[in-house]
Amino acid sequence: MVHCETSNFASNAITSILFVFIASVAYTIWLTIYRLYFSPISHIPGPKLAAASWWYEFYFQVIKGGQYFKKIAKLHEQYSPIVRITPLEVHIDDPEFVDTIYTNAERRDKTPWHKNAFSSDTSAFATADHDLHRTRRATLNPYFSKSQIRKFAPWIQERANMLCRRFQEEYKGTDNVLTINEAFSCLTADSVMEYSFADLHIATNFPILIQLQIFILPRSFVTWLDPTSKIIFAWLNNVERHVDDVVKGSQKHQDVNHATIFSEILQSKRPPQENSKERLFNEAQTVVSAGVETTAWTMSVTFFHLLNNPEIMQKLNKEIEEAWTDPDVPLDLPTLEALPYLTAVIQEGLRMAYRGAARLPRISPDKDIPYTIPSASSCTTTKTVFPSSHTFAPERGLASPPPHLRNGKESPLSRYMISFSKGSRNCLGMQLAYAELYITLANVVRKNKFVLWETGLEDVVADREFLLARPKEGSLGIRVKVV
C-alpha cells in the first residue's frame, strides 16, 4: 500500500513537472510568434532575435560588457534609421526627432524596465507615470533653479580654491601623478552633498551604478563577494543618516546661506506619503549619485582635450586671463557664463563626454509603443549635424549653425545637444552641473599648469556603456602632472 502511494506521488510529480514544462514551451513559442508577426511594432526592421527575445540585448550588455550601444549603431547602418532593438522597443536614429520624444507639451511615461534599473523606485527620476513625475519634480525644481544655484556658487568657488591649493602644495614640481577625474569627483561630491544637506560626503569615489542585488542580499554576503561594496554601503548609510536628521529636525549647519533641498521639502505642502523617510531616501540617493560622477567625468574629458590640444588651451587661457586679471579675486558665475570661448569649450566637453550614454526610453502616447531617441553618444556624433564629430572643436559652438535644415530653416546646434536630456524629464541638476563646470574649469585653467602623463584618447573615448559612457576596460583614469 505504501509502495503504491509512493509510486502514485512520484507519477503525479513527474506529470506536474512535465505539464509545466510543456506549458512553458508552448507559451514561449506563442509569445515569440506574437512578437515576430502580430506585435504593433512587428513591421519595424531589425534582427529577428532582438524582436523575439530580451536575451539579444542581454548578450551585448552583460556577456559582452556594455556593448549594445555600439551594436545599435551597426543595426542602423544595416537596416534603417528606425530599428527594433528589443521585443518592446524601437530606436530612432534621427536627431530631428529629439523635440518630438523629449517634450514638455505631451505626456511622456517612462518605460518600466528602465525604471527598474534603479533601486530608488519612489524618486522623481525613477517615477514612470507622467503625472506623478511632474508632481514630484515640481517640488524639487525651485531648489535647482538658476537663481538658487547662483546663490550657491560662492561655495563652489571655495571648493575650487581648495582644489587648486592642493594641486600647488601637493603636486606642483613633484613626480606625484594626479588622477584628475578622482579630484573632480571629490569636488562634485562635496558640492551636491553640501547643497542637499549642508554637510560633506564621506565617500567621494563610488560606482554610479548600484546594483539592485545589493539591496536584496545580506550586506555581509555582498561585502564578502566584493569588499569594495563597503564604500557603497558607507555612502548609503551616510545619506540615510542625513535623511534621518532632516526628518527629525536635527540637521546640523542650519546657518548656511543657501537652501538645503531636503529640509525645504519637508516644509512644503505635500501629502504625508511624499514626505516619508523612504521617499526622501530614494530622492536623496538619486540626487547625490547623479550629481557626482556625471559632472566630474565631463570635467575630466573636457580637461583632457584641453591638455591634448595646446592651441585650444592657449586660446581659452587667453580669454580667461583677460577677463580675470587678479586670480586672487574670483569672478562671479554670471561673468564666467558670459565668456564665449569658455562656454564653447564646456558645450564641446559635454558633447564629447556623452554624459548620459544609456538609452532613455519614453512611451509613445498614441500607440503605447516604447521608443527611444538616440542616446547622447549617438545624437551628438551625427555627422550631418557635427562634422568631424569625434574631434574636439569648440569653434563649432561659435560659428554659424551648419546647413542642417528643419522645416526649411537652419537649427542651432544646441537643439541637438541632449547631454542633460530634454523636455519634462530633463536633468534636474543641470544648472548645478553648469555652475560646477564653469567655476572649476576656469579656476583650474587660470591657476595651474598641467601636462598629461601616460594618458591617451583610449582613456576618454566611450568604449562601454553602463548607464554612463566608460573608457576601455583597464583604463587607469586621466592622469596628469602639475608643472
Instruction: List the domains of the chain with CATH numbers.
Output: 94-482 (1.10.630.10)
Query: What is the Rg, in whole angstroms, of the alpha carbon atoms belonging to the chain?
Result: 25
Q: In angstroms, rounded to a whole number, what is the distance separating the alpha carbons of residues 418 and 368? A: 24
C-beta atoms surrounding 135 within 10 Å: 15
The DSSP bridge pattern shows strands 362-363 and 178-179 to be unpaired
Q: Which DSSP state fits 78?
A: H
Q: Minimal CA–CA distance to 466: which of 67, 56, 63, 123?
A: 67
Q: In angstroms, rounded to a whole number, what is the distance separating the alpha carbons of residues 371 and 250? A: 45
Q: Minimal CA–CA distance to 245: which of 280, 272, 274?
A: 280
pLDDT of residue 143: 82
pLDDT of residue 211: 43
pLDDT of residue 219: 61
Q: In angstroms, rounded to a whole number, what is the distance separating the alpha carbons of residues 301 and 314? A: 17
- DSSP lists the bridge partners of residue 92 as 82
Q: What angle do CA 117, 274, 434 make, to 5 degrees?
A: 60
In sequence order, the 6+-apart residues with CB closer than 8 A to the CB of 114 are 359, 360, 361
Q: Which residues of 272-309 are buried (b: 16+ CB within 10 A; e: fewer)?
A: eebbeeebbbbbbbbbbbbbbbbbbbbbbbbbbbbbeb
pLDDT of residue 1: 52
CA dihedral 55, 57, 63, 69 (to 10 degrees): 170
pLDDT along the chain (483 residues), means of 10: 61 84 94 94 95 93 89 93 90 81 82 62 80 84 88 94 96 94 91 69 36 52 57 61 63 52 65 69 73 88 96 97 95 95 94 74 66 54 76 83 49 76 86 95 96 95 83 92 96
pLDDT of residue 210: 45
Q: In angstroms, rounded to a whole number, what is the distance separating the alpha carbons of residues 371 and 92? A: 7
pLDDT of residue 287: 75
C-beta atoms surrounding 412 within 10 Å: 12
Is-contact 370 111, C-beta < 8 A? yes
pLDDT of residue 201: 35
Q: In angstroms, rounded to a whole number, what is the distance separating the alpha carbons of residues 39 and 208? A: 35
Q: In angstroms, rounded to a whole number, what is the distance separating the alpha carbons of residues 392 and 130? A: 37
Q: In angstroms, rounded to a whole number, what is the distance separating the alpha carbons of residues 104 and 102? A: 7
Longest dimension (CA), the chain: 101
Cell of 361: 526610453
What is the value of pTM for the model shown? 0.81
Q: Which DSSP state fits 327?
A: T
Q: In angstroms, rounded to a whole number, what is the distance separating the alpha carbons of residues 337 and 434? A: 9
Beta strands in 308-442 (DSSP E): 362-363, 370-372, 405-406, 409-410
Helical (H) or strand (E) element with 307? helix 293-308
Q: In angstroms, rounded to a whole number, what is the distance separating the alpha carbons of residues 195 and 261? A: 7
Provide the angle, in degrees to the nearest 10, between the axes of the packed helices 310-323 and 293-308.
110
First to last CA, the chain: 91
Cell of 299: 570635467
The reply, when asked if residue 186 is annotated as ligand binding, is: no
C-beta atoms surrounding 83 within 10 Å: 23
Is-contact 91 83, C-beta < 8 A? yes
What one-letter code names the amino acid at 279? R
In sequence order, the 6+-apart residues with CB closer than 8 A to the CB of 325 are none
Q: In angstroms, rounded to a whole number, what is the distance separating the alpha carbons of residues 180 and 273? A: 42
